[in-house]
Structure 1
């Protein structure tokens, strides 16, 4: 058996159920649970589900690369850490800039300038210090700009990895999203090999459509074999829509990442 664990994003499956019931259903099926923003959630109800919440969004508003936005990101990151403590959630996810309800950047950037890089690295260093004091890990997620998140700065896996490496803290890791990486960069196994020492978690969905493995072009069993060969012991999270019955979609995900 592989050493990694499987999680499912409750924002994208069992959509006919209230959120806490989605979390319970995913946990009953044997998965850890990931969620996005906490501000609209009943945190007390989530604490009673008994589920392992393995990842959540680590800020409400703010950006990495301008001073005012950075202060706002850090302010809401502190609030997020308090919620993570209540949920016993080890990882908090951030992006290059805040995203609106359509996934679009609140401050788009066609060009990322050298001062933006420096400000982003300093902001992430301060974020890592917050994580260290709280005993939590912040993860910086790569995104794609071609389909889902046009105009997002620091979106590529290469850029995200460069920032994480620059900070050099165990409390700032990369959330390597292979769905986004396939759209933007490809060469997924090589990317996993390069990034894995800096990875805090891995997220997956197939391309196109952002649905469960087996519905698109990515051969995820090969990725699973690479993770097993490399000794990955973290979480692989399905952040994708179900193509049909959600339970069957989750079973397809499990089968794709089951290494004999």
Structure 2
């Protein structure tokens, strides 16, 4: 496993430009970064920084964000995927993150899940043609995302399996999973091949590892034992200056 700095939050206190955050991450010894939305970023500037440093991008978010569970939004969602794929091509074709959208009142969960599968099958076809991975992210409904349809890792994996594309996998955010009181081994055992990316933050507070109650050496050791060897995204809100925060995160995680 290796660390990927979420430069949406890390370094933002000292570098307004995302490109300079990429350079700062490299200076701190990291070869992978990620961020959230792309339409508010100078993509040419970011692409230049990635080329200069050799840093690789591990993910960014499909936008505008639209609902997977509402068929009225599927057209706009698929257009967002197309446009995000064009941007991804300028940035090394990193994985693109999608979330479910909010639960629709008065519509059965089964119907909403079926709509999500339908939309994702079409999106995965676009991703296959572009050679890009889509990653579906469950989000916690207890703190940051009340009303979100997909908050369960198990259900997210069920949707990935139902879509049945090599270009759609799960983004497992250990923070969101912990907030939802999931047991890591219970939800991931035998299904780690469906996970492409992992993100972390401590709980409570969503700050750097070591500030909360999660035993990071234990949890990451369990992920490793289950077969995960990819990027670990540091998607947290730092309480320390970035370089010190990264040092604390490295110490807490052992990575």
TM surpasses 0.5: yes
- TM-score w.r.t. the length of structure 2 is 0.91
1:213 to 209, 213, 216: 209
Distance 1:115 1:227, change over 3 A: closer
**Residue aligning to 1:102:** none
Match of 1:89 in 2: 93
Residue 79 of structure 2 is aligned to residue 59 of structure 1: no
Whether the 8 Å contact between 1:54 and 1:89 is mirrored in structure 2 is no
Deviation, 1:8, is: 1.2
Gaps of 5+ in 2: none
Q: Tell which deviates more after alignment, 70-79 or 59-68.
A: 59-68
- Counterpart for residue 34 of structure 1: 34
**Matching residue within 203, 208, 218 for 2:199:** 203
In the other structure, the counterpart of 1:72 is 76
Take 2:176 and 2:201, find their aligned partners in 1: how far apart are those partners? 9
Gapped runs of 5+ residues in structure 1? 98-104
Distance 1:91 1:22, change over 3 A: same
Specify which of 12, 28, 45 is matched with residue 15 of structure 1: 12
Q: How does 1:61-140 map to 2 (within 5 A)?
A: 61-97=65-101, 105=102, 112-140=108-136
Partner of 1:48: helix, strand, or coil?
helix
Give the Cα separation in 1 of the matches to 2:115 and 2:169.
18
Aligned counterpart, 1:235: 231
Q: Give me the whole-angstrom Cα distance separating, in 2, the residues matched to 1:186 and 1:149.
A: 16
SS at match of 1:115: helix
Deviation at 1:197, TM superposition (A): 1.6
Q: Distance in 2 between matches of 1:110 and 1:57?
A: 29
Counterpart of 2:46? 46
Structure 2 residue 161 is matched with structure 1 residue 165: yes
C-alpha RMSD of the superposition: 1.8
TM-score after normalising by structure 1: 0.89
Q: Is the 8 A contact 1:20 1:49 kept in 2?
A: yes
